[in-house]
Structure 1
Amino acid sequence: MRAIRDYATGKPPMRIVVIGGTGLVGRQVVALLAARGHEAIAASRATGVDIVTGVGLHEVLRGAQVVIDASNSEAPYGESSYAFFSAGARHLLAAEAQAGVRHHVSISVVGTDRLRSSPYFRGKAAAEDMIRASGVPYTILHATQFYEFLLAIIEASGVAAQALRLSPAYIQPVASRDVAEALAQIACGRPLNATVELAGPERERLSVIVKRFLEDIESPYEVVVDAAEPYFGAVLEESSLVPCAAAQTCTVGFATWLHESEYARAHW
């Protein structure tokens, strides 16, 4: 894996379109790029751009030098998530080629290539295959799970009698703001035509960190450790979700993130 470099921004401003630019990571990327003097365009269904159908893509990409794909499936379960990523990548890359985009930046997930039994991860992998074969210069960022994603993991887990069943596989979660900063850095630099990895500073078992989270927000759920419990449709090995040794490691740990998050002020 190639390391992420911190590129200087002493170059002419660019038009950078952020697909999913109104979402959790996308809106942070838009703000970071705008603060650096670039013309950062947030594109999503809320702004009339739909990558699944292709509606609005050609108009929003006109004159763009860089495209960041920070989109995500609304339903991370079942075949609809596969259809979202595969159709979205096909339409987006075709529109980029026609518009002469010089750098495609995509956010994906550490472990995507190990979890193809899950429609969600199989869709992510299919999109990455299309990116590599498209001819558009690219950089793919594989990030570990966001701290903000812990609630989605809880919602996706098997629940019975106030107990959550969770895999004991290791994860190394990261703050979404660190992911946004990495995407902004990548977009301001040259295409690597490679995949890079980004992770948080602490490696912990999925079942353990979710238990900590539930305790901190005083949730009534208990955690039951179950190695056979699927994670978005895939059964995990211990290292399925952790990065390689060459991954860039961020500094915001779980306790710091939680203290600064909206959940620190939640009342249950």
Structure 2
Amino acid sequence: MRILLVGGTGLVGSAIDARLSTEGHECVLVSRHPDAAPDTQHVILDVARTTDAAKWKGIVAGVDAVINAAGALQGQNMQGVHVAGSAALYTACESAGVRRVILFSAIGIDRDAPTDFSRSKRDGEAALMARDLDWVVLRPSVVVGRPV
């Protein structure tokens, strides 16, 4: 299976890439870091600035599934990464016939007093759920580990 892994060079994304590659899947990584994955198929792209679905069209072409593990923290463009750029990705998936999408969100996004982070994650989930796709949203707690 050919899988587009958005946020593929981060802590969660690199672990997913290692596991899927070991199982024989072909992963195409998307990240904004040009030197992060020299021995892989790597698309250098800033999700927060890629808010037009047409810019995602060529990137999603030929993939069987998308895993969105991109994330932004305080001081970064959370709205751009979690909502606007991701919504454009989901629109491109829908128009290209890429049905399967997995989104890594975060626990606690449904609290009564959400933070900017959890509010942007919640809005990103809503953007995915609004599309006609076969989607799964995962809400892990705090993720701690060493890069793969």
Work out whether the TM-score is over 0.5: yes
The higher relative CO (CA closer than 8 Å, separation ≥ 6) is in 2
Contact 2:4 2:60 in 1 (8 A): yes
TM-score normalised by length of structure 1: 0.47
Matched with 1:112 is 109
- The CA distance in 2 between the partners of 1:119 and 1:138, in whole Å, is 24
Q: Which amino acid aligns with 1:95?
A: A
Unmatched segments (≥5 aa) in structure 2: 34-42
Q: Which amino acid aligns with 1:72?
A: G
**Correspondence for 2:22 among 21, 35, 39:** 35
CA drift of 1:116 comes to 5.1
Contact 1:108 1:142 in 2 (8 A): yes
User: Identical aligned pairs, as a percentage?
Assistant: 29
CA drift of 1:131 comes to 1.0
Does residue 19 of the first structure (1) align with residue 18 of the second (2)? no
Matched with 1:76 is 74
Q: Secondary structure at the match of 1:25?
A: helix
CA deviation profile, 1:15-67 (whole Å, cap 9, x unmatched): 10100001111111111111111111111123322322327522221111100
Aligned in 2, Cα 1:67/1:116: closer, same or farther, shift over 3 Å? farther
Matched with 2:133 is 136
Q: Secondary structure at the match of 2:105?
A: strand
Alignment of 1:83-162 (within 5 A): 83-114=80-111, 117-148=114-145
Q: Secondary structure at the match of 1:59?
A: helix
Contact 1:102 1:136 in 2 (8 A): yes
Alignment of 1:1-268 (within 5 A): 14-46=1-33, 47-54=43-50, 57-73=56-72, 75-77=73-75, 80-114=77-111, 117-148=114-145
Q: Number of matched residues?
A: 136
CA drift of 1:77 comes to 4.6
Q: Which amino acid aligns with 1:94?
A: T
- The CA distance in 1 between the partners of 2:133 and 2:59, in whole Å, is 17
Please report the RMSD computed on the Cα atoms of aligned residues, expressed in angstroms. Answer: 2.3
- The CA distance in 2 between the partners of 1:89 and 1:70, in whole Å, is 10
Aligned in 2, Cα 1:58/1:49: closer, same or farther, shift over 3 Å? farther
Contact 2:47 2:80 in 1 (8 A): no
Q: Which amino acid aligns with 2:47?
A: I
- The CA distance in 2 between the partners of 1:39 and 1:83, in whole Å, is 27
Please say which of residues 61-70 and 39-48 is displaced more in the overlay.
39-48
Higher alpha-carbon Rg: 1
CA drift of 1:82 comes to 2.7
Aligned in 2, Cα 1:58/1:31: closer, same or farther, shift over 3 Å? same
